[in-house]
Amino acid sequence: MRVAMYYRNSDIRLQEMPIPKIGPRELLVRVQAAGICGSDIMEWYRIKKAPLVLGHEIAGDIAEVGRDLTDWRPGDRVVVTHHVPCNECKYCLSGHHVVCETLRTTNFYPGGFAEFVRVPEINVERGTLRLPDSVTYEQGSFTEPLACVVRSMRNSGMKAGQTVLILGAGISGILHLKMARYLGASKIIITDISRERLEMARRFGADDVLHAADDVPGLVREMLGSEGADQVIVCSGAVPAFLQGIESVDRGGTVTFFACPKPDEPIPLNVNELWRKEVKLLTSYAAAPGDLKEALRLIASGKIVVDDMITHRLPLAETQRGFELMLRGGSSLKIIIEPQK
């Protein structure tokens, strides 16, 4: 089978690998759509394990069923999750599935930018969902990224009527924008360094947009007529975005760090300024099985529309171009790789 082998962001090669053999309780899935995630282009994070096949936002159909499985049939349309928890450790039992050690070590093989993936037994049991007939493969590939946003917004305690500031208008920022609107935000402001991305954010329903080079905290206070936003969500890994976010939150508000900076870029934090404001600082990483089910429900019901975020569809041989488009940003938002083409 063909795979897109990652060596670095500027070096992704179309190579051949054997089609994986599956065990008695495993699945072989034919990948029909695989989204490029912002984390896929975090070279400092990915290059340590290179060469490898990336791609974890996938949807496809079952090509082969392990002999001991009775609930699945060849041709079944599915979404497959790469990371799944044990559901037994203290973290899972307390609702923190995403820090479960099992979740950090599970994956399908070799990766979504391939014609086929082998789905291990634990991923079949806890991370494989049937696609409703009304949901396309492309839409299904948004299940994992939307699930991460579902978890982020739930943990933030977002309530209807609150004001929201989102820093970063990439795919995670736009998904947060759509989710905040669905949850009843009274006003949503979004920032970015790209004017093209800001125009896109307006089309997706942002009430106001700000260029990241401007005085974001000052302008947010002016726009909202308060000391800041109730909910601040940092969806950019740039250090200035973290600083602007912390400075833009209202008293009693919440700042969610959905993105992360590079390891060698510490964020200076003035605790004294936050001390009397009773501000909550949260991090949000990945998604749990319940988040994935909720995300797929939102997509299937049309509550969260995802098709309008797709800007490019590329065959597997053009995965390198997809990464280049992601790195360039601008008018590129969601890039779908179609491994069967």
Distance CA 2, CA 308 (A): 29
Provide mean pLDDT across the span 327-339.
96
Q: What is the mean pLDDT of the chain?
A: 98
Amino acid present at 110:
P
Distance CA 252, CA 272 (A): 15
pLDDT at 257: 99
Write b or e for each residue in 127-163: b if 16 or more Cβ atoms lie within 10 A of its Cβ, otherwise e: bbbebeeebbbbbbbbbbbbbbbbbbbebbebeeebb
Which region holds residue 62: left if phi is over 0, alpha if psi is between -120 and 50, else beta? Answer: beta
pLDDT at 168: 98
Single out the residue of 15, 34, 20 nearest to residue 110, CA to CA. 20
Provide mean pLDDT across the span 108-128.
98
Percent of the chain scored above 70 by pLDDT? 100
Could you please state the CATH topology (level 3) that the domain comprising 149-283 is classified under: Rossmann fold (3.40.50)
Domain ranges of the chain: 2-142+306-338, 149-283
Q: Which CATH architecture has domain 2-142+306-338?
A: Alpha-Beta Complex (3.90)
Q: Which pair of tokens denotes residue 251?
A: 């008293």
Distance CA 187, CA 223 (A): 10
Distance CA 116, CA 112 (A): 8
Please check whether residue 311 is in contact with residue 333, taking contact to mean a CB–CB distance below 8 angstroms. Answer: yes
The pLDDT tens digits for 139-195 are 999 999 999 999 999 999 999 999 999 999 999 999 999 999 999 999 999 999 999
Provide mean pLDDT across the span 198-224.
98
Provide mean pLDDT across the span 79-105.
97
Provide mean pLDDT across the span 10-29.
99
pLDDT at 181: 98
pLDDT at 273: 85
The pLDDT tens digits for 189-204 are 999 999 999 999 999 9
Provide mean pLDDT across the span 227-244.
98
pLDDT at 133: 97
